Structure 1
Amino acid sequence: MIGLGALGGMYLDRIARGLPEADVFVIADAERADRLERDGVVINGREVRFPVVRPGNAAEVAELLIIATKAGGLEAAIELARPFVGHGTLILSLINGIHSEDALAEAFPEADVLLSMTAGSDVVRRGNDISYENFGRIAFGREADAPADDAVQRLDALLTEADVPHEVPADMRRTMWWKFMGNVGINPTSALLDAEYGAFTLPDSHAREVMLAAQREVIRIANAQWVDLGEADIQTWLRTVSTLAPRGETSMLQDMRAGRLTEVDIFSGVVVQLGQELGIPTPVNEMLLHGVKAREQILGAA
């Protein structure tokens, strides 16, 4: 695992407990490695210490590499990963957005980078404390009509043995766009409005209306690129949000409240860019992009 944040800690803990004989470890360097070795993490009130391996101490390539950093940490994660990646290494990215798989495939042509995403979790990290009520699930696989292959089947078997909730959609590219649609709506809106999950499920929720308007712009862009998203996918997203802890926070809301720069560029920013390229207006996402960046400036986020 590279990136022992909220998602990374939650998933690595489940894998380590489900596969006690596996060689499970965190890849980190410098001060972060020192801190993880010294302090560990606390997951739902339970202190956990994972083995930490520094890049200079890599003994062999990994069978499975999971990357769960923020989007801005992808380039650094690639450099950390190099000593651990070899022919046939499976790479699973839990990074938000729709960009990380292509970057990883370019960096590691010898590896097998699966399309992947995670949804349905309300995990939060504050300091070294990680907590969640809903675990969510990982989805991974290939594009539509791709035949079943050994890599997907091996990961399916491993996660089943580890008791990690997961699915293998027939069209993983479409599933990634569904998650992107959901994130584009809820993450920037929550960060701008300081809105927790419950704000999007209240009767007559204005926060929900902002979220839906941003998501419908994503649907138009997806359709222009032959990705079949529609109103039924919004309803699926609303059902997913309704299962989350009402006081839970999106990752962007956590960043904003902590005074950190958010990932608005990979959500609203990407939608605005694609809209310009495709000639599709995206006024809601333009407003969210500038609104979130304005709040970052006002709060002095860094």
Structure 2
Amino acid sequence: MKVLILGAGAMGCLYGAAFHRAGCEVTLVDVNRAHVDAINARGLELDTRAGFELLPIPAKLPEQVAGAVDLVVVFTKTFHTDAALSGIAAAIGPETALLSLQNGLGNDKRLAAHASPERVMVGASSLPSDLVGPGKVRSHGEGGSKLYPAFGGDIVFAGHVADLLTKGGLAAVLEPEIHVAIWSKAIFNATMNPLCALTRRTPGFLGAHPESRAMITRAVDEGVLVANASGVPVPAQPIHDLTEVSMTDHADHEASMLQDVKAGRRTEVDAINGAIVEAAKAAGVEAPVMETLWRLVKLEEAKLAEG
């Protein structure tokens, strides 16, 4: 299988490595020239609990992509999705499948603008991963992936993708209730990511203080309320449990939103907290903690824009 990873940051590289180990022909695509050059010069360097690996996976800039592939796995920031897919249009043929493992809500519709809905898959990953330098990725946590056709597509092909990831060392399963999984991850991210970004601290810090723990509990409960009011039956306890895992097993992991704020980049808060707040308004319920976190991160972005 020819697999293109669109957005070869920390998560993209982790998944590209899994497809590579499973015997796929993998290409990593990213706009970060230094990162692409480093991978091509010495290979992709992975530091995981299993040890160190140096994998010979080719990397390209978007304009270097040519020829259709079997699967495009999208890991770009949500606000870059349309431009990124347009930039690798040459790789998307009549039979190409698209898989989003991105953060936030609404990714299924974004991908469906670039391929037939029956070829669109969506998923959620609970794996932590950090880009520690050009061509270097670290992932020392546990987790897995759930995926499924977004609009009733080919379940057999989706199962093959899950099997390849599992064979490559990243456990993946088909999840018919994929939108429950995606909402659950969005609620988790909308809770932990902004608090890490606003405090400039990792989850271990949040777990050590009653103030942050109280906000975490309230935010999760709000998100679950919104999901259920929106017709998605999300249970609360697994998300509460996941926040505990985050604060212990992934205590030193830098959430993507924290990394973005520290680097002076735009965050994905609109597709995460913002999307939940908009869903709350549409469903006629309140989500004041989620909205407060959203607006505070937007103020951080405004500060960054001022230089």
Query: TM-score normalised by the shorter chain: which range applies?
Result: 0.7 to 0.9
Q: In structure 2, how many angstroms separate the alpha carbons of the residues matched to 1:298 and 1:148?
A: 45
Structure 2 residue 229 is matched with structure 1 residue 227: no
Q: CA RMSD in A?
A: 2.8
Residue deviations 1:96-121, cap 9 Å, x none?
111222111122117611121111x2
Q: Are the aligned partners of 2:105 and 2:272 in contact in 1 as well (CA < 8 Å)? A: no
Q: In structure 1, how many angstroms separate the alpha carbons of the residues matched to 2:217 and 2:278?
A: 19
Match of 1:23 in 2: 25
**TM-score w.r.t. length of structure 2:** 0.85
**Match among 169, 175, 182 for residue 169 of structure 1:** 175
Q: In structure 2, how many angstroms separate the alpha carbons of the residues matched to 1:218 and 1:263?
A: 17
Q: Which amino acid aligns with 2:7?
A: G
Residue deviations 1:81-137, cap 9 Å, x none?
311112332211121111222111122117611121111x22111331321201521
Q: Are the aligned partners of 1:214 and 1:285 in contact in 2 as well (CA < 8 Å)? A: yes
Structure 2 residue 217 is matched with structure 1 residue 209: no
Match of 1:194 in 2: 200
Structure 2 residue 166 is matched with structure 1 residue 152: no
Match of 1:124 in 2: 130
Instruction: Go from structure 1 to structure 2 and tell me whether the alpha carbon gap of 1:155 and 1:248 turns closer, same or farther (over 3 Å shift).
Output: same
Q: Which amino acid aligns with 1:175?
A: A
Q: In structure 1, how many angstroms separate the alpha carbons of the residues matched to 2:42 and 2:168?
A: 25
Q: Percent of aligned positions with the same letter in both sequences? A: 25
Q: In structure 2, how many angstroms separate the alpha carbons of the residues matched to 1:290 and 1:110?
A: 33
SS in 2 for 1:25: strand
Instruction: Go from structure 1 to structure 2 and tell me whether the alpha carbon gap of 1:52 and 1:111 turns closer, same or farther (over 3 Å shift).
Output: farther
Match of 2:144 in 1: 137
Match of 1:294 in 2: 299
Match of 2:12 in 1: 8
In the TM superposition, residue 276 of structure 1 has moved relative to its aligned partner by: 2.4
Instruction: Go from structure 1 to structure 2 and tell me whether the alpha carbon gap of 1:213 and 1:243 turns closer, same or farther (over 3 Å shift).
Output: same
Residue deviations 1:128-178, cap 9 Å, x none?
13212015212101479x698322222233223323211222311111111
Q: Are the aligned partners of 2:108 and 2:150 in contact in 1 as well (CA < 8 Å)? A: no
Structure 1 regions of 5+ residues with no counterpart?
none
**TM-score w.r.t. length of structure 1:** 0.86
Q: In structure 2, how many angstroms separate the alpha carbons of the residues matched to 1:291 and 1:138?
A: 30
Structure 2 residue 79 is matched with structure 1 residue 72: yes
Within-5 A mapping of 1:49-68: 49-53=56-60, 60-68=67-75
Q: Are the aligned partners of 1:67 and 1:95 in contact in 2 as well (CA < 8 Å)? A: yes
Q: Please state which structure has a larger fraction of its residues in strand.
A: 2
In the TM superposition, residue 41 of structure 1 has moved relative to its aligned partner by: 4.5
Q: Are the aligned partners of 2:74 and 2:100 in contact in 1 as well (CA < 8 Å)? A: yes
Residue deviations 1:45-95, cap 9 Å, x none?
655452135666655421121111112221222113311112332211121
